[in-house]
Amino acid sequence: MAKTTATKSPLIRIAKREDISRPKAWLIRIAAILIALLVDGLIIFAIVHLNPVAVYQAMFSGAFGTARRGWITLRDAGILLCIGIGLAPAFKMKFWNLGAEGQILVGGIATAGCMIYLGGRLPAPLLLLVMAVASIAAGAVWGLIPAAAKARWDTNESLFTLMLNYVAIQLTSYAVARWENPFGSNTVGVINQNTQAGWFPKLFGQTYGLNLLLALILMLAMFVYLNYTKHGYEIAVAGESHNTARYAGINMTKVYLRTMVISGAICGFTGFIAVAGSSHTISTSTAGGRGFTAIIVAWLSKFNPFVMVLISMLLAFLGSGATEIASRYNLNDYAAQMIEGVILFFILGSEFFINYRLIFRGKEERAA
């Protein structure tokens, strides 16, 4: 008789979790952050022989050490929040919009153009309104282009939106060359520095108060849109399965176009906030990579605008803190970014243990 060889089951198997309570999911995320801080502490001590606690105190000081630093951190968090809100409907529909950088830039170009050509000619409230509408329109068009291509020719939206970023960068370079001030400087400089035409006014005595108010309004509006409207329902169904959406009678062409117009418009509006409410200039670094960072905001929050606030604050804190420790301890940017990267790595890794569980050989199925 032929011998039969028993095959052992794998030492570890991975199974998708059917369900996990929200408190347990947040405990996993918090544990990931604590472990990341311990790992960072070891790295800090091994490389630069600094007290990790002192380094973390420096990070906190860099983000919230003074009122001005605190408001700058909140300003940066607000911009990340706005971009994440813009990406949320597209990502929830599984339309991978990687073009937020370009949509921010074209919105910023439209804003800067209005400030340069209409500043001093229109009353301040009307000028701000025109700038906002122009930035929304520019971002909406930039979002509509890949959506139309997807609906008509089923193009790859990831590559299409990504390539449009480079087109937007070149348009920004052209705008900078056209508006450079002083001539030959290759920069636009601070627009309307003397008159402050087109600048956000202070709100409640705070320079960035209006920035945060607009971000919170967008957050609430997107929450209602995604959870309590027909369009939000169609996005959710399309995100589960495009075929199911078509079977249910949902016009996917309309959903593509409408959702990406909204996504691009919000990102373009973020360009308005960044130019009129923060830098008061336009350059190829106006987006500053935040269009890609905001992907983490949208993804980790599971497209919940309220959770986006927490993720945006964490990322803004890490950015401000990394800059502070780099300057205080004379570290280069790579060391500071490494600390930030380790924390982000563990946060992203925690999502694996939220969505999957490890099953060990010889044990009853249990979560890791």
Q: Assess whether pLDDT exceeds 70 at residue 347.
A: yes
DSSP string, 107-141: HHHHHHHHHHHHTTTS-HHHHHHHHHHHHHHHHHH
Q: Assess whether pLDDT exceeds 80 at residue 363.
A: no
pLDDT given at position 322: 82
Q: How far is the C-alpha of 81 from the C-alpha of 92, rounded, in Å?
A: 16
Closest CA to 108 of 176, 195, 48: 176
Whether the CB-CB separation of 358 and 14 falls below 8 Å is answered with yes
pLDDT given at position 356: 86
pLDDT given at position 366: 47
Q: Where are the alpha helices (DSSP H) in the chain?
A: 22-48, 52-64, 67-92, 100-118, 124-153, 157-179, 209-228, 230-240, 242-247, 252-274, 290-300, 305-328, 333-355
Closest CA to 299 of 104, 100, 13, 35: 100
Q: What is the enclosing helix (H) or strand (E) of 15?
A: strand 12-16
Q: How far is the C-alpha of 121 from the C-alpha of 164, rounded, in Å?
A: 33
User: Which is more confident, 337 or 350?
Assistant: 350
> What burial class does residue 207 get, using C-beta atoms within 10 Å of its C-beta: 0-12 exposed, 13-18 middle, 19+ buried?
middle
Over residues 262-283, the mean pLDDT reads: 97
pLDDT band at 332 (very low <50, low <70, confident <90, very high): confident
Over residues 356-367, the mean pLDDT reads: 66
Q: How far is the C-alpha of 44 from the C-alpha of 2, rounded, in Å?
A: 60
pLDDT given at position 15: 83
Task: For the chain, give the mean pLDDT.
Answer: 90
pLDDT band at 368 (very low <50, low <70, confident <90, very high): very low
Whether the CB-CB separation of 157 and 285 falls below 8 Å is answered with no
Domains within the chain, CATH numbers bracketed: 21-45+71-357 (1.10.3470)
Q: How far is the C-alpha of 334 from the C-alpha of 316, rounded, in Å?
A: 17
Over residues 56-75, the mean pLDDT reads: 92
Q: Assess whether pLDDT exceeds 90 at residue 212.
A: yes
Query: Of 45-49, 72-76, 313-317, 351-355, where does mean pLDDT reach its minimum?
Result: 45-49
Collapse the DSSP code of 101 into the 3-class scheme (helix H, G, I; strand E, B; otherwise coil) and give the result.
helix
Over residues 149-156, the mean pLDDT reads: 93
Whether the CB-CB separation of 109 and 191 falls below 8 Å is answered with no
pLDDT given at position 308: 96
pLDDT band at 268 (very low <50, low <70, confident <90, very high): very high
Q: How far is the C-alpha of 318 from the C-alpha of 63, rounded, in Å?
A: 8
Residues 6+ apart with CB under 8 A from 272: 107, 108, 110, 111, 131, 132, 134, 135, 136
User: Which is more confident, 10 or 57?
Assistant: 57
Q: Kindly state the DSSP code that residue 224 receives in the 8-state scheme.
A: H
Collapse the DSSP code of 149 into the 3-class scheme (helix H, G, I; strand E, B; otherwise coil) and give the result.
helix
User: Which is more confident, 330 or 290?
Assistant: 290
User: Which is more confident, 194 or 16?
Assistant: 194
Instruction: Give the model confidence (pLDDT) of 21-64 as tens digits.
Output: 888 888 998 999 899 989 988 988 887 788 888 888 988 999 99
Token readout for 342 is 């380790």
Over residues 89-95, the mean pLDDT reads: 95
Locus of tokens 């030492």: 11
User: Which is more confident, 328 or 150?
Assistant: 150
pLDDT given at position 4: 55
Amino acid, single-letter form, for residue 163: M
pLDDT band at 256 (very low <50, low <70, confident <90, very high): very high
Q: How far is the C-alpha of 22 from the C-alpha of 354, rounded, in Å?
A: 10
Closest CA to 267 of 105, 158, 109, 144: 105
Q: Assess whether pLDDT exceeds 90 at residue 263.
A: yes
Over residues 329-337, the mean pLDDT reads: 74
Which residues, in sequence order, are bridge partners of residue 222? Answer: none
Q: What percent of the chain has pLDDT over 90?
A: 67
User: Which is more confident, 296 or 1?
Assistant: 296
pLDDT given at position 367: 44
Q: Assess whether pLDDT exceeds 70 at residue 364.
A: no
Q: Assess whether pLDDT exceeds 80 at residue 336.
A: no
